[in-house]
Amino acid sequence: MKIFGYRAESYRETADLVMLRAVEKFQEVLKMAVSLTSPGGRIGLMIGSGQVELAKGLNVEINWGDAVEIPCSNSRALLVGAKS
């Protein structure tokens, strides 16, 4: 397994898992994240619970699952989807 923990702009391959966390305007970088995800790969978003429907409504090639509330957090959720 190869882990890359730097800026997405400098990654030149695709990955089986792309994770976004602490991204204020995730909807602006989600398209880049999708382009970095291998076909059949997954994207994980750590977002506010109130942003889940916004994420699911964006026009990207991701089939979203159900959001999972993060215990002991202040209304945070993990949303995971697979690239079609």
pLDDT single digits (tens) 13-52 = 999 999 988 777 888 888 889 999 999 999 999 999 999 9
Q: Which among 35, 19, 81 is positioned nearest to 56, based on CA atoms?
A: 81
The pLDDT assigned to 47 comes to 92
Q: Is 34 left (phi over 0), alpha (psi -120 to 50) or beta?
A: alpha
CATH topology of domain 13-83: Rossmann fold (3.40.50)
* 67 touches 45 (CB < 8 A): no
